[in-house]
Amino acid sequence: MSHKFPIANKSFGQHFLNSPNVIKKITSPLPAGVDAIVEIGPGPAVLTRNLALYGLPLFVIEMDERFVEILAPIVSPDRVYRQDALEFDWDYFLKTHNLKSIWLVSNLPYNVSVPLTLSFLRIPQITHMTLMYQKEVAQKILPNDPRNAMGSLHALTLSQFELFHVVYAPPGAFVPPPKVDSQVLYFKRRQNPFVQLEEVDKYENFLRLVFANRRKQLGGILKKEWGAEKATQCLERAHLETEIRAEALTFEEVLNLYQAHSHYYS
């Protein structure tokens, strides 16, 4: 399969997927129980055509007006949103369509992939996501080797989702080819998250502090930010040595330290 693509718009970070194998892996299987599909940045509809075959309500968010004509035979015009995904009004959208379980699919623009992911994480109706990232970013979300790989992005997404590798996509899978390798991840929202959604902002701020200098000894970082007494008590409650580096923490240890921090004044 080969598609004829328009000239990519660099300001939108466009690289059009052209690999039948990668397209198939992104668009199948349909997650159980979803009542709608939302695609971010469908472009020339290489994923959209497959997604439409499921017969579920399909919505697309696309900034580039050049693709409206291509999408028209596949997606109902009232389900095509010509907007910036970063500015999309999810509250209004969800109330309007009364959706309970959404599968979000996207070959994400690499320059905004992290802020988009963090916004999706906060929307409970987005229960499943299949998302393409620059491989370097994907490895921060789901490291191949967990040793000394803990970071804020991994700890944050793991608190809300089960994470799975789907497929790697080399530069040759795109037109034009990017200068980096890509990776697709699948997210399945936890029915019982490790951190409640109303606490996610607090948890994220905690993670940014802990992992700001992830290769330094954690005790020194926390004593500087929290003071010696609080840092010592929190580390002891979490059963952590002051010499441990943040990158060497397990997810369970991150959660234990967060709980110790949260309960310090209680």
155 has a pLDDT exceeding 80: yes
What is the fold, at CATH topology level, of the domain defined by 213-262?
Helicase, Ruva Protein; domain 3 (1.10.8)
**CATH 1.10.8.50-classified regions of the chain:** 213-262
Could you identify the residue written with the tokens 């029915």? Answer: 191
CB atoms near residue 38 (< 10 Å): 28
Q: What is the mean pLDDT of residues 205-223?
A: 95
**CATH 3.40.50.150-classified regions of the chain:** 10-189
Per-residue pLDDT at 1: 45
Per-residue pLDDT at 15: 74
Q: Are 45 and 191 in contact (CB under 8 A)?
A: no
Distance of CA 191 to the CA centre of its chain: 17
Reduce the DSSP state of residue 103 to 3 states and report it: strand
**H-assigned helices in the chain:** 20-27, 48-52, 68-71, 90-97, 113-121, 135-141, 152-160, 200-210, 218-226, 228-237, 251-262
Q: What is the mean pLDDT of residues 120-128?
A: 98
Architecture of domain 10-189: 3-Layer(aba) Sandwich (3.40)
Per-residue pLDDT at 16: 80
Phi-psi category of residue 227: left, alpha or beta, with phi > 0 → left and psi -120 to 50 → alpha: left
Beta bridge partners of 98: none
Top-confidence residue, 264 or 222: 222
Lookup: tokens for 113: 């992939």
Is the whole-model pTM more than 0.75?
yes
265 has a pLDDT exceeding 70: no
